[in-house]
A and B are shown apart, each in its own frame.
Chain A
Amino acid sequence: MIERIKVGMASCGIAAGADEVKDFLDEKLKDKDIEITEVGCIGHCYAEPLVEVETDSGSVFFENVEPTEEDLAKLLELDEESTMSFRDERTGREHLKVTKLAGRIDPVSLDEYIEHGGYESLKKAAEMQPEEIVEEVKTSGLRGRGGGGFPTGLKWSFLAGKEAEKKILICNADEGDPGAFMDRSMMESVPHQVLEGMLIAALATGATELFIYARAEYPLAVKNINIAIEQVYENKLNVFDGKTIDITVKEGAGAFVCGEETAMIHSLEGGRGNPRYRPPYPTDEGYKGYPTLINNVETFSNVPSVIGEGGKKYAELGTENSKGTKLFALAGDLEYAGLVEVPMGLTIGEVVYDIGGAKRGEVKAVQIGGPSGGCIPAEHFDVPIDYDSLESLGAIMGSGGLIVIGSDRCMVETARYFLEFTTKESCGKCTFCRIGTKRMLETLERITSGEGTQEDIDFLEDLGPKVIDASLCGLGQTAPNPVLSTLRYFKDEYLAHVEDKHCPALQCNDLVDIYLDQDTCIECGQCIRNCPVDAISDDFVVDNEVCTRCNTCIEVCPVDAISRVKRGESNG
C-alpha cells in the first residue's frame, strides 16, 4: 500500500521539472489519502525528476518522471519494469554518512529530522564538558572540508581556549567554486543537520553568536535554512542553561574571494570583501574584533556523526590522515552526474568510471578543486582520494567539485577558463594576483588563438609560482594551479597550439575550420537556413572567413556531414 510519495525538489530537481511533477501529483491525487512531500536531493541528479513511492513494504524509486497520466499510472501501480535500479557500481562504493538523510526526509520538518535521530548528538553534547566535545572531534581526525583540510578539532580548541566577552562562529556557505554544489544540496536537503553541527560547535567553543554566510545564488538553501532556524528557536533547541545562542543567515553578494575567511569577515561587517594578512587569525581577532571560528557547511554536517558515534568510531573510516567521507559534485563528461559521498581513500577512477559511469578511454582528466585546484590525468586515476595524495599530484582536495574532462576537450582552453574566472574574481589587493593573473590570462588567450610562442609557455611557467608566492590569500595562492597542472601533464597540447597552430581537441575556434563533406551531404538546406551569418553558399561550401564557428550547422545537420577540422584543412 502506498503511504507517501516523495518528490526530489532541490534546485537541481526543480530545474529538471520536478515542480511540474509535484503540481501534477497534487492535482491528480488530491482526493486520495496519499501524502505528497517535497524532499531534497538524494544525489542521483542524472535521474531527475526523481520520485520515491513509500509503501508499507519499503520504497520504490522512479527516475525521469514526467507529469503525464502514463507516468502517474506507473507510480501508482508500482510498475516494476519502470522502477529505477540503483547501480551496484555506485551503491557498492558509496558510504552515506553525511548525506544519509538528504532527499529521504522533508527538509523543513523538524519532526522528521528528530524521528531519524536528529538532535540526539546535540543532546549528548549538551551533557558533555566543552573540552570533551573538542577532544572527541580531535580524535575523529575530521579535517576542514572547505578545501584547506585544517584539523577541525584543533581549530575548535583555539577558539575554546579564548577568554572573550563574546565569541563568534561562522558557517561558510559561500560555495563559490564553479562546478560545486555539495553545500547547496546539504542546506536544501537537511538544513537541520548543518544547524545541529553548528550548535555542537558553539557548545564546544563557547560561541554565542552564529552566522551562516550563504551564497546569494542559492535562494532555496537560504529559505530552507531560515525555516529550520525558526523551528530551532520555537523549540528552544538553541537554549542551554537559560542562555540563548543566536543564529543569523547573511547572504553574500557574489564575490568568490569571500570564501576566504578574513574576506568573509569583512563582508559580514558590511565592507568590501578584501582579505587581510594573517596573523592575527580569526580565532584571535575576527568579526568586529571578537574571536571567530569559521568552518564550512560540510564540516559542520559531519559533526553530528562525530559526536553521535564517537570520534574513535568515526575515525575507523578513511585513510591514515584523511578520515570519514567526502562529498563530491560530479559533473562534466560522464553518464551519471550527481552528488556522491565516498569514503576517503577510494580512488579517483572508482568515482569517475564506476560511480560516474564515464567511459574508460574517453576521459582525459578530472579537474578537482575548481579554479583553485588542478587537473589529474587519467593515468593517475588509481590515486586514492585523500588530502595528501592529491596534493602530491599538484591538485588539492578542494571543496568537492569534480569535473570529468572528456578526450575531446582542450586542456589549454580549460586552464584559460579557470584563469579567466580567478582573474575576474581577484579582489585586486595584491599586485601579483591582480596583474599577474591578468598577464597569465592574456598569454593563454594568445596561445588558444594561435598567436602563442614557446616564450609564452616559458613565461607561464615562470610567472605562475611567483603569483603563488606573492599573494596574500588562497585565491591568488591557488589561481595558477590549473595552468601549472595542465602544463605539467598536458604540455604536448600547449606545444601543439604554439608550434603547429593546432588545437588537438578542435575546440579553440581560432585554430579550427568548419568542413562540409559534400559526399555525405544530402543537400537538405538545414545548415544554410540556420546559419546566423550566411556563411554557407547555395552549393554547400562553408566560407570560413565569414563563419563564426558557432556550431549551429553541425547541430542541425541530420547526417553529420559537417565537422570541425584543423585550420586550413577545410578544403579537403
Chain B
Amino acid sequence: MELIKSLEKDRSNLIKAIQMVQRERGYVSDQAIKDISKYFDIPTVEVEGVLSFYAQFKRTAPGEYEIAVCDGTACHIKGSSRVKGWLEEELQIEDGETTEDGLFSMETVACLGCCSLAPVVSINGKVYGKLDRKKLLKIIDDYRNRGEN
C-alpha cells in the first residue's frame, strides 16, 4: 500500500497506519483494511478488531464538513445536549451520520479541551465557542454557502 510504505513493518505501527489512511481518505474502507492487513502480515480480523476499538476511526465516508460536538463536562454543563439537538434538527442527521448531500457529518466527542469557551463545536478542526442556537445556525449557514460558491 503506497500510502503507508514509509512505515516500518512492525505491529506497533498498526494504529499509525490506520491513522494515515483515515487522514488521507477521511475513513477506512474494506479494501484499506485488506491492504493494511497484507502490509503488516496480520489477519484482517485483527486489523478490524483494533480499528473498532478506537473511537477515532470511521468506517464510512464523513461529510465535507465534519462537525464534532464537544460533550466534555464543561460543555455538558453549559448545554451541549441542546447544541446537539439544534444540529440534529437543522441537518436532519443523528450522531455519527452524514447528510444526504454529503456536506455535513456530525459526531459527539469527549472533550476538545476548550472548556472556557463552552459549549463548543469544531468544524473540520476549527473550534467555535460560546454557542447559542442563533450563532450555531449562522455558522452552519456560512458553511453551506461556502459549499455553494
Q: Which of A's residues lie within 8 Å of B, judged by CB?
A: 11-12, 14-16, 45-46, 48, 175-181, 184, 216-219, 250-256, 267-273, 288, 329, 331-333, 337-338, 367, 370, 401, 403, 405-406, 409, 414, 417-418, 421, 425, 427, 532, 548, 550-552, 555
Contacts and interface: CB of A to CB of B under 8 A. Distances in A.
Interface stretch (B59-67, B98-106, B107-115, B138-146): B107-115
A332 B74 CA distance: 5
B58 to A, nearest CB: 11
A75 to B, nearest CB: 22
Between B19, B78, B85, B115, the greatest number of chain A beta carbons within 10 A of the residue's beta carbon is seen for B115
13 contacts: A12-B116, A250-B15, A253-B54, A255-B53, A269-B11, A271-B14, A288-B12, A406-B77, A417-B76, A425-B110, A548-B85, A550-B89, A555-B132
A217 B107 CA distance: 13
A11 B128 CA distance: 11
Given A11-B127, A184-B113, A269-B12, A178 B53 contact: no
Given A250-B16, A403-B73, A179 B115 contact: yes
A333 B56 contact: no
Contact of B112 (A48, A217, A269, A370): A217
Given A251-B16, A550-B85, A331 B113 contact: no
Contact of B113 (A217, A405, A421, A532): A217
B77 A333 contact: yes
B117 interface: yes
A253 B11 contact: no
B114 A11 contact: yes
B95 to A, nearest CB: 11
Contacts of B54: 252-255, 273
A268 B54 CA distance: 13
Contact of B116 (A269, A337, A414): A337
Nearest to B53: A272
Nearest to A425: B110
Interface of B: 10-16, 18-19, 49-50, 53-57, 71-79, 82, 85-86, 89, 109-118, 120, 125, 127-129, 132-133
Contacts of B75: 178
Contact of A251 (B19, B50, B85): B19
Contact of A178 (B15, B111, B116): B111
Nearest to B127: A15
A273 B19 CA distance: 16
Nearest to B50: A272
List of 10 A-B pairs having minimum Cβ-Cβ separation, nearest first: A179-B73, A45-B116, A253-B54, A15-B127, A337-B116, A178-B72, A331-B115, A254-B55, A270-B14, A254-B56
B12 A270 contact: yes
A61 B12 CA distance: 46
A54 B74 CA distance: 33
A405 B16 CA distance: 38
Contacts of A253: 15, 18-19, 54-57
Contacts of A405: 77
B115 A532 contact: no
B123 to A, nearest CB: 12
A566 B127 CA distance: 36
Contacts of B11: 269-271
B41 to A, nearest CB: 12
Contacts of A333: 77
A179 B109 contact: no
Nearest to A185: B113
A177 B14 CA distance: 25
Contact of A367 (B57, B73, B132): B73
B109 A217 contact: yes
